[in-house]
Amino acid sequence: MSENLDFLRSKLDEDNFRRLAALENEKLNEFVADAVRLCRPADVFVSDDSEEAIERTRREALAIGEEQPLEIEGHTVHFDGISDQGRDRKATRYLVPEGESLAPSLNQIGREEGLAEVRGLLEGSMEGRTMIVRFMTLGPNDSIFSIPCVECTDSWYVSHSLNLLYRVGYRDFERLKDQAEFFSILHSAGKLDERMASAESDKRRIYIDHTRDKVYSVNTQYAGNTVGLKKLALRLTIRKADREGWLAEHMFLLGVKGPGGRKSYFAGAFPSACGKTSTAMLPGEKILGDDIAYFRAVDGRCMAVNAEAGVFGIIQNVSPESDPAIWEVLSNPGEVIFSNILVKDGRPYWLGMGEDVPESGVNFSGEWFKGKQDAQGKEIPPAHKNARYAVRIKALANSDTELENPEGVKLDVIIYGGRDYYAYVPVQQGYDWSHGIVAYGAALETVTTFATVGKEGVPEINMMSIQDFVAIPLGKYIQNDLDFAGKLKEVPAVFGVNYFLRGDDGEFLNGVRDKHVWIHWMERRIHNEVGALKTPTGLIPKYEDLKVLFREVLDKVYSEEDYREQFTIRVKENLAKMERAIETYRKEEGVGEEVFQILEAQRERLLAARKEFGDYITPDCWQ
């Protein structure tokens, strides 16, 4: 027996030791032993994914007060601390060995310095608590896409969230034994306040040791910082995909129904709060995933899977009209975790739900009343803008039957969408793979939103909606996507969408439900059932096709005036967009010349069009 197993035998009771030892993985034993030595928990619970173990996680989260029950059976609520409401860019860093460096745009710290800091904060952090050891899998179980993961945490809420968001993985570890190459996550909520929320957010640290496929997280409970298989593991997955020649993407997966009963699969990359989840859950279509997708070239086809098995979605503006599929789940019995909403008499309330919100209740700030202010004198809203819900995808009536298919699904379309107020039209198709990847993906632009800690409303290039999570040079990431088409015989079409285009009066030109029409135009387009007009920025729909689709999909009259306003090419704004993208990538190391050629070519097309038609070019000019 190894030294690590000897130590673990002395710290774990017989049943928990037996469950861990049965996996016969010394690297795993080393990780768990180190976590126990460092964090000094009172006891250790090793989950074997039995019904009893899964239920214990939910029961304990309620028993210790990390969650509270709500009126509807199976629904619970969790509150993060008032300063722990989103992903923290500043506190999330890569641990970089001496002599190495990641891209300048990536937040990083020397590995030895960072390890000393974060391990110092973790030391003794679990005293008096239980360490929960969870085994999960990214991607379907027993698949070429599968990545085994282990997370050690002292938060039953985090463990409960894992139940809903990922596939359990104890059997995968049991099958693979010492052949399991896994990601590991160590998390402690740190010091807790009387509401069982992390109390020292100023000491929040989320550090990624990409050289060891390991994540450290401390003094936070917000799931984006603590459920390590989410965006934290995505950073590790991107490096793994880079080494092995496949793609890890921040994308939803959606099965779109077409005429004659056909179904085409779409993937889409949108920054948080830019319409990603609402697109993934369009009524009448089939949701396969809402956040992270893996792509592999298999027999010349682009095959895709959802890395996750659940949805950790922003709840603001979820209403019966805008999101009927998720509203149904949130309004009926079943397992749901709400976070950072308002609770009154056991009922959850959130911003934009389509009904009146009470003027008092309990929220992330404690007892809340209308007009309550925080320490800076700013009024506290009834629910946080970044309030969330967690549910299993299978709980959705429109979940896709291919969710657990180990071979994945054949991908037909890739979409990029940001929060672009002034430039791109609502939907357009790239001339080819490379144009779409660069002009819509690499040049994806948005403004910062409430989903990250910091100032809102700041315009920024957010490359492929994955810039926050890339652990390799940005130029290398773009090049990997460009090169991927060379492995395919059937290359997906690439589209750009913009749900946030504004008119001269500052009002949005897209209706909330219009996105469904854009999706169906794309579906008809890839099957050569609708035409397009060639513009300097891409291929746009024809009015006669959209007129029919608005009637079919939304039972809505679509006017030529709306069409002209939405699909006018705004030359001045588009030129500024291209220049911002070019400037951004000139500052990055290793960005390939092809990227600049595509951006410059689009800039030249815009300049030529301006010379012929002026600064604002209506669609009829392209007939």
In the chain the domains, ranked by start, together with CATH numbers, are: 3-66+88-244 (3.40.449.10), 248-309+403-622 (3.90.228.20), 312-395 (2.170.8.10)
The predicted pLDDT at position 457 comes to 57
Mean pLDDT across 405-410:
98
Q: What angle do CA 181, 185, 189 make, to 5 degrees?
A: 170
Asked if the model's pLDDT at residue 455 lies above 80, the reply is no
Whether residue 423 contacts residue 574, with contact meaning beta carbons closer than 8 Å, is answered with yes
The predicted pLDDT at position 405 comes to 98
Cα–Cα dist 279/296, whole Å: 23
Q: State whether residue 446 is helix, strand or coil.
A: strand
Residue 136, H or E segment: strand 130-138
Percent of the chain with pLDDT over 90: 86
Cα–Cα dist 610/483, whole Å: 33
The predicted pLDDT at position 451 comes to 46
Residues contacting 130, CB < 8 A, separation 6+: 41, 42, 43, 44, 45, 60, 154
- At 29, the amino acid letter reads N
Q: Smallest Cα–Cα separation from 208: which of 107, 132, 85, 86?
A: 107
Q: State whether residue 76 is helix, strand or coil.
A: strand
Percent of the chain with pLDDT over 70: 98
Cα–Cα dist 303/318, whole Å: 31
**pLDDT 10s digits, 495-534:** 999 999 999 899 999 988 899 999 999 999 999 999 999 9
Name residue 140's beta-bridge partners.
none
Mean pLDDT across 417-427:
94
**Strand-strand pairing, 205-209 and 247-249:** unpaired
Q: pLDDT band for position 324 (50/70/90)?
A: confident
Residue with tokens 């938060």: 155
Cα–Cα dist 26/3, whole Å: 10
- At 316, the amino acid letter reads Q
Cα–Cα dist 534/430, whole Å: 10
Cα–Cα dist 302/294, whole Å: 10
Whether residue 153 contacts residue 187, with contact meaning beta carbons closer than 8 Å, is answered with yes
Asked if the model's pLDDT at residue 454 lies above 60, the reply is no
Q: Smallest Cα–Cα separation from 208: which of 118, 124, 132, 120?
A: 118
Residues contacting 264, CB < 8 A, separation 6+: 255, 256, 258, 412, 413, 523, 526, 527
DSSP 466-483: -GGG--S-HHHHHHHHHH
The predicted pLDDT at position 5 comes to 95
Q: State whether residue 311 is helix, strand or coil.
A: strand
Cα–Cα dist 367/375, whole Å: 15
Residue 143 DSSP code: S
Cα–Cα dist 1/525, whole Å: 62
**pLDDT 10s digits, 37-65:** 999 999 999 999 999 999 999 999 999 99
Q: Smallest Cα–Cα separation from 32: which of 237, 227, 148, 184?
A: 184
Residue with tokens 């979605």: 313
> What residues are annotated to the active site?
274
The predicted pLDDT at position 468 comes to 81
Mean pLDDT of the chain: 94
